[in-house]
Structure 1
Amino acid sequence: MILGIVVGHVIHTQFDHPGDIGHYFGLLATIFLTMIKMIISPLVISTLIAGIAHMGTGGAVGRVGGKSLLWFVCASFVSLSLGWLMVTIFQPGIGEVIERMGADALKSDAAASALDTGIKTMSIDTFVSHVIPTSIVDVLAKNEILPVVFFSVFFGVGLAAIGDKGLPLLHGIEIISQVMLKVTGYVMVMAAPGVFGAMVAIIAKNGIEAVIPLARFMGEFYFTMAALWVLMILVGFLILGPRITKLISLMLTPVSTAFATASSEAAFPKVLEGLERFGVSKRIASFVLPLGYSFNLDGSMLYCTFAALFIAQATHTVPPVSQQFIMLLVFMITSKGIAGVPRASLVVIAASMAGFGIPVAGMAMILGVDAFLDMGRSATNVVGNSLAASVVAKWESELGESLPEGADLDAVPAE
């Protein structure tokens, strides 16, 4: 990002027609965004079917699983709604410079119209009629995410319902899912060149002043994320009482790890250890935490609405409020199908927002700062999942006393 700013500034100040030169660097971002579109449908259909089928065969639909999923859905809705509320109040996509960048994105999107996903307008009627596919092959070919999700949910439930007879097929789908996660990792190798190209194109075209609205966007998002943290801690205090401070202290190391690496997965072992030290039973911790990593991405949910509507504001494509509420539900559903994907929020945003008339190419505006935002999202996901496991343990009366500092976890008997 920094190198892109420097190179873009040099091009803007030292060359004639800097926008034309920056355009060629912008092709790196176009390649990255196009590759993301390439993986969306196979990634979502394989991971979502496997995840839903496992919920049935793995017993996660029982009492603990039901309570966990209730918490996850409520937490996701709160995160999405908070992101929607704050981006509507702050209006980070409004301003001369950022709107000029948005106009450039619209031109780029028009050139790549053949790659658009979804439909261009959305209402309750069109949503209902569009979400049910007449042919899964057709919607996969067109990369239409809503009907793909609808089919995946039904297929996953049906696969779980037939029990052991479906295990060979489930195993095959899991292999496809693992392959797609690997492919996604390869695609994300293009993230760094894509960020560089996006920043060069933006700065070369608009000058160094383009950094200011992006810095404002980052600051307002982190403020919103801080508000979510306060809300989560407050809810934790209401349920767990003063012990919430002990949980926070135990999570400082995994939260720092997630922030530094921009990966909540990297912090997983330390989160699990911290939960057991907090007194969460091994049974609850080992069940709720992995489920939470798939279904409880509070930081990512917050970012989806904030970033999508930021792009919509900058490109003058803000959908009506009724469609925005539908978009929140779509984000909630599509996010559940790509657990463990690096920079998963980019895939969710690309998969969902085009169906509401928001240009996917507008994501080029946020690519340059997404790495820094991903650090905060990952840390927030860790906080949300540690709180979820602790609350479910409390509800199940499986929250014991915290272990003293330095106590050996292996000495604690398993349930």
Structure 2
Amino acid sequence: MVRASFGLQIGAAMLLGLAAGLIARALPDSSGLVTALDLIGSSFVQLLTVLVPPLVFASIVASIGNLRQLANASRLVTQTLLWFAITALIAVGIGIALALVIQPGVGAGVDAATAAAPRTVGTWLDFLKGLLPVNVLGLSASTKLVDGAPVTGLSLNVLQIVVMAVLAGVAALKVGEAGEPFLAFARSLLAVVRKLLAWLIRLSPIGAFGLFGHAVATYGWDSLARLGWFAGAVYLGLAIVMLVVYPALLMLHGLSPARFLRAALPAIQLGFVTRSSIGTLPATEAAVERLGVDSAYASFAVPVAATSKMDGCAAIYPAIAAIFIAQFYGLPLGVTDYVALVLVSVIGSAATAGLTGALVMLTLALSTLGLPLDGAGLLLAIDPILDMGRTATNVAGQALVTYIVAHREGLVAHAEPTGSFVPAE
């Protein structure tokens, strides 16, 4: 009974987090409560992040070893990437259409003085360089000033781990018998990591409580008033993609949207509160396997999707945001600009891999269109609020493409799923 109601537990935790956040905003001195909520939420995300590198590496290496048993392995990869592009194309088209109809940048209440070029700017050169692994773990160190003091931290580039895992898996197959112990180790490591994840995901309601409560207490909804039309356009676009486009694609393939939602909802909820497709990766993989997707394909497609399938962050949001900035500054966009925006959104999704939010993707779009990068600063005040919806859409799209491709290639067991969304023990 507890396992069957896991999605309800997440939903209840979000409501409790909302209440705690509103209480914190109402208290004259809420620093203690806000700190506690932050500690709970950030600790959960940190534990998830720790398990991501071995999970991604072991999943992809093991799945490459398993995919060799399938005659259509190369077709699976091609179909996966093709459906990434198809759904991204639909999403960016919806974003452009909404921005042109709603015109959120015309008469926006945001102060032009808040415009400032962000410190992190995406470029095509940085994206290409980011594909080259720095080390096996995909970690890189960076130093920034916090309250005048230098603070060094580590950032995780999952895309680099994916590249390393794919190369290592293919190399293991090429060396034949000598690579079998390595593939066996990857399968063993994957089993151990999945067991750890099964334990950790049971704590998801606690993490959701802290994350959502801290978001409400810290950001609230006040700043939405100044950018109401923009925020409304973004969330309307996300809703259309999740509630209209995705169900339509499922029905076109003879699949039940209700069944998909039942299985994927806990992962979508977790993506909403964590604001991290990568941190939600274990839950997304468990969700598609619960739908009956073959585990060998799921363990390959979901990690790749978590780094390069971003309908929320890389399609809808940059389309609406770029047009908003153009309208705000009174800069006209031509047909070629809209075509360039579509290409950036479809091709450049992986530029957001390993990073929080969609700032890199937005600045990449702005620089491609020749729009002022300072315009990104206009939107930073409400970015965390928008990022929750964007990430939920990302996660839904990642599960959707994996499910559709698996169905098209006969890799779905059509029996009604039973048991828990939590990874099997």
**If the TM-score is normalised by the length of the shorter chain, which range does it land in?**
0.5 to 0.7
Describe the superposition over 1:152-176 as per-residue Cα deviations: whole angstroms up to 9, x where unpaired.
69xx7xxxxxxxxxxxxx6x53459
Deviation at 1:290, TM superposition (A): 1.1
Could you tell me whether the CA contact under 8 Å between 1:240 and 1:391 is conserved in 2?
no
Partner of 1:330: 344
Identity across the alignment (%): 26
Could you tell me whether the CA contact under 8 Å between 2:326 and 2:332 is conserved in 1?
yes
Partner of 2:180: none
Could you tell me whether the CA contact under 8 Å between 1:87 and 1:306 is conserved in 2?
yes
Deviation at 1:405, TM superposition (A): 3.1
1:261 pairs, out of 274, 290, 294, with 274
Cα gap change, 1:68/1:174 in structure 2, threshold over 3 Å: closer, same or farther?
farther
Partner of 1:69: 81
Deviation at 1:234, TM superposition (A): 0.8
1:361 pairs, out of 374, 399, 404, with 374
Q: Following superposition of structure 1 onto structure 2, how do residues 148-297 of structure 1 map, counting pairs within 5 Å?
A: 173-174=134-135, 177-179=138-140, 212-229=225-242, 230-241=244-255, 243-297=256-310
User: Any idea what SS the aligned residue of 2:227 has?
Assistant: helix
Deviation at 1:376, TM superposition (A): 0.3
Q: By percentage of residues, which structure has more helix?
A: 1
Describe the superposition over 1:128-171 as per-residue Cα deviations: whole angstroms up to 9, x where unpaired.
xxxxxxxxxxxxxxx8x24565x669xx7xxxxxxxxxxxxx6x
AA in 2 matched with 1:321: V
Cα gap change, 1:88/1:177 in structure 2, threshold over 3 Å: closer, same or farther?
farther
Deviation at 1:88, TM superposition (A): 0.9
Could you tell me whether the CA contact under 8 Å between 1:146 and 1:330 is conserved in 2?
no
Matched residues in 2 for 1:176 and 1:271: separation?
A: 22
- The runs of 5 or more residues in structure 1 that have no matched partner are 7-53, 118-142, 157-169, 187-194, 200-207
Cα gap change, 1:274/1:211 in structure 2, threshold over 3 Å: closer, same or farther?
closer
Matched residues in 1 for 2:322 and 2:226: separation?
A: 16
TM-score of the aligned structures, taking structure 1 as reference length = 0.60
Deviation at 1:180, TM superposition (A): 6.2
Deviation at 1:398, TM superposition (A): 0.9
- The runs of 5 or more residues in structure 2 that have no matched partner are 1-20, 26-60, 143-152, 158-214
Could you tell me whether the CA contact under 8 Å between 2:289 and 2:298 is conserved in 1?
yes
Could you tell me whether the CA contact under 8 Å between 2:293 and 2:403 is conserved in 1?
yes
Partner of 1:373: 386
**RMSD between aligned alpha carbons?**
3.7
User: Any idea what SS the aligned residue of 2:95 has?
Assistant: helix
Cα gap change, 1:217/1:65 in structure 2, threshold over 3 Å: closer, same or farther?
same
1:388 pairs, out of 375, 382, 401, with 401
Matched residues in 2 for 1:179 and 1:312: separation?
A: 34
Deviation at 1:211, TM superposition (A): 5.3
Could you tell me whether the CA contact under 8 Å between 1:299 and 1:378 is conserved in 2?
yes
Could you tell me whether the CA contact under 8 Å between 1:293 and 1:340 is conserved in 2?
no
User: Any idea what SS the aligned residue of 2:379 has?
Assistant: helix
AA in 1 matched with 2:81: L
Question: Are 2:56 and 1:95 aligned?
Answer: no
Could you tell me whether the CA contact under 8 Å between 1:277 and 1:403 is conserved in 2?
no
Deviation at 1:362, TM superposition (A): 1.3
Deviation at 1:265, TM superposition (A): 2.3
TM-score of the aligned structures, taking structure 2 as reference length = 0.59
2:323 pairs, out of 309, 331, 338, with 309
User: Any idea what SS the aligned residue of 1:179 has?
Assistant: strand
Could you tell me whether the CA contact under 8 Å between 1:92 and 1:213 is conserved in 2?
no
Could you tell me whether the CA contact under 8 Å between 2:233 and 2:320 is conserved in 1?
no
Cα gap change, 1:185/1:285 in structure 2, threshold over 3 Å: closer, same or farther?
closer
Describe the superposition over 1:311-336 as per-residue Cα deviations: whole angstroms up to 9, x where unpaired.
12112224322122112212333322
Could you tell me whether the CA contact under 8 Å between 2:108 and 2:328 is conserved in 1?
no
Cα gap change, 1:268/1:63 in structure 2, threshold over 3 Å: closer, same or farther?
same
Partner of 2:184: none
Cα gap change, 1:94/1:180 in structure 2, threshold over 3 Å: closer, same or farther?
farther
AA in 1 matched with 2:352: I
Could you tell me whether the CA contact under 8 Å between 2:275 and 2:391 is conserved in 1?
yes
Could you tell me whether the CA contact under 8 Å between 2:98 and 2:320 is conserved in 1?
yes
Cα gap change, 1:392/1:116 in structure 2, threshold over 3 Å: closer, same or farther?
closer
Deviation at 1:262, TM superposition (A): 1.6
1:342 pairs, out of 322, 341, 356, with 356
Could you tell me whether the CA contact under 8 Å between 2:406 and 2:412 is conserved in 1?
yes
Matched residues in 1 for 2:264 and 2:224: separation?
A: 33
Matched residues in 1 for 2:299 and 2:120: separation?
A: 40
Matched residues in 2 for 1:410 and 1:93: separation?
A: 44
How many residues are matched? 288
Matched residues in 2 for 1:81 and 1:225: separation?
A: 12
Describe the superposition over 1:24-44 as per-residue Cα deviations: whole angstroms up to 9, x where unpaired.
xxxxxxxxxxxxxxxxxxxxx
Question: Are 2:414 and 1:401 aligned?
Answer: yes
Deviation at 1:348, TM superposition (A): 1.2
User: Any idea what SS the aligned residue of 2:279 has?
Assistant: helix
Could you tell me whether the CA contact under 8 Å between 1:259 and 1:375 is conserved in 2?
yes
Cα gap change, 1:321/1:180 in structure 2, threshold over 3 Å: closer, same or farther?
farther
Cα gap change, 1:96/1:411 in structure 2, threshold over 3 Å: closer, same or farther?
closer
Partner of 1:190: none
